[in-house]
Amino acid sequence: DAGVIQSPRHEVTEMGQEVTLRCKPISGHDYLFWYRQTMMRGLELLIYFNNNVPIDDSGMPEDRFSAKMPNASFSTLKIQPSEPRDSAVYFCASSLGGGNSPLHFGNGTRLTVT
């Protein structure tokens, strides 16, 4: 199994630009999570999906953030427009059975907004 695959690994962009982060979950997993990791706030849950349907987006910081899961093997997290305070490592994770089951994390996308 290839595990959860995220792309790109690194993204550097200028303030105001649109950023799209991508995730391919483990085949067969029915839950997908997007997390953000910063030194100040640690690991924060942004949004999660069950069977491609967004269940809870209460962690999405602002309307500038949006996430989609068009099918079981692909999800995107978009930031438009990006701001320097969005700089962080963004992780995608998948699981079979939700938050009460082991999460499998990708290796993250390090986003730098200048």
Partner 1 sequence: GENVEQHPSTLSVQEGDSAVIKCTYSDSASNYFPWYKQELGKGPQLIIDIRSNVGEKKDQRIAVTLNKTAKHFSLHITETQPEDSAVYFCAATDSWGKLQFGAGTQVVVTP
- Interacting residues with partner 1 (CB under 8 A): 4, 42-43, 45, 48, 56, 91, 93, 98-100, 102-108
**Closer Cβ to partner 1, 67 or 106, answer by number:** 106
4 in Cβ contact with 106 (< 8 Å): yes
Tell the smallest beta-carbon distance from residue 42 to partner 1 (Å).
5
Cβ(4)–Cβ(23) below 8 Å: yes
- C-alpha radius of gyration, the chain, whole number: 13
Phi first, then psi: what are they for 11, rounded to 5°?
A: -140, 125
Residue placing its CB nearer to partner 1 in the complex, 17 or 38: 38
Q: How far is the CB of 16 from partner 1 (least distance, A)?
A: 28
